[in-house]
Amino acid sequence: MNRTWSASVGEAKKKVENGVADGSRHESVALVVGVTGIVGNSLAEILPLSDTPGGPWKVYGVARRPRPDWNAEHPVEYIQCDISNADETKSKLSKLTDVTHIFYVTWALRFTEAENIEVNNLMLRNVLQAVIPAAANLRHVCLQTGTKHYVGPFDMLDKIEWHEPPFTEEMPRLDCPNFYYTLEDVMFEEVAKKPGVTWSVHRPHQIFGFSPYSMMNLVGTLSAYAAICKHQGLPLLFPGTKSVWESYSIASDADLIAEHEIWACASPKAKNQAFNVHNGDYFRWKQLWKVLAEEFGIKEYGFKESEKPLSLTELMKDKGPVWEEIVKKNNLKPTKLEEVGIWWFSDVMLGTDTVTSSMNKSKEFGYVGFRDSAKSFDHWINQMKSHKIVP
């Protein structure tokens, strides 16, 4: 996979939209666990394209809830399954004997890291124990985690000492509980039971993408905030610290992450490796804030100095009725505000000092994909609009 393939994704998508598809037999069969998530949705769109490396691909998609209409256009065999239930997982996934690649791009959030470890380990182990013994031609397991590998869980961000950024993949694990670490250990243990199966770990930063079901959808959250500001005639104030407003930040485009994960499946050099994955450029939030304001037609916007950073959790706690007005006025898809706006996540990401990670290892192993973060941010805002989630 190279820059040429990455650039051709848009053209391939147009071919599918225009009814031109490759009808040849499938060389690879993907199981995307978390197919309605922010990266799962991108995998569901990109894997079936005619020029995707390793293909043609047949795709199974697994998610806990019924299939939403915004995901239904992808040529994926959808399987509704609660993977925290071992019996249900085995019953539904052990039948998928033709799977060659597993993309595990889901997670569950609980109140403590101990609970996160327990439930997320259970989910991954249930999937692997159902599929690995049954899929005779399984070749690769792709596990997505993230930058918390280097900074620790959310509830310990200000309590432990991080490594010095930019973060590199060979940095040792921090001395703290972290479900990302135990997910890796579960994967290593289960994959080792079947000789010849390889793995890869992918660690994105804050993700720019589309999924109303994602628990970490920053673009959707900020779009909902901007829509409310526009509706009420309020200035679009930055809900974070001055440091984050002015510092250099990085982000990971959801399509880019999907491409990176597919590259690891297709490239012999990338097997049994962990990789950071982000857009490869830097931005300042004060630059992206202009993009957000312009997309929603807001003239007054920026950062306002105060003793305490603006918190969207506090600001949005009574805005449910306002969102109902916006949905009705603009004929949007029926949603609850708390489904679209993940306020706590925005408060964490925009209220914590920015960090960076290195993409050198991916480049050394042959991956040269990239995104312009400002264009990515704007693209995913417009995806939210085109699916009628925000006005």
Active-site residue 148, yes or no?
yes
Catalytic residue among 60, 78, 180, 225: 180
Q: Is 282 a catalytic residue?
A: no
Distance (Å, whole) CA 124 – CA 132? 12
Query: Tokens standing for 237?
Result: 């104030």
- Residues marked active site are found at 148, 180
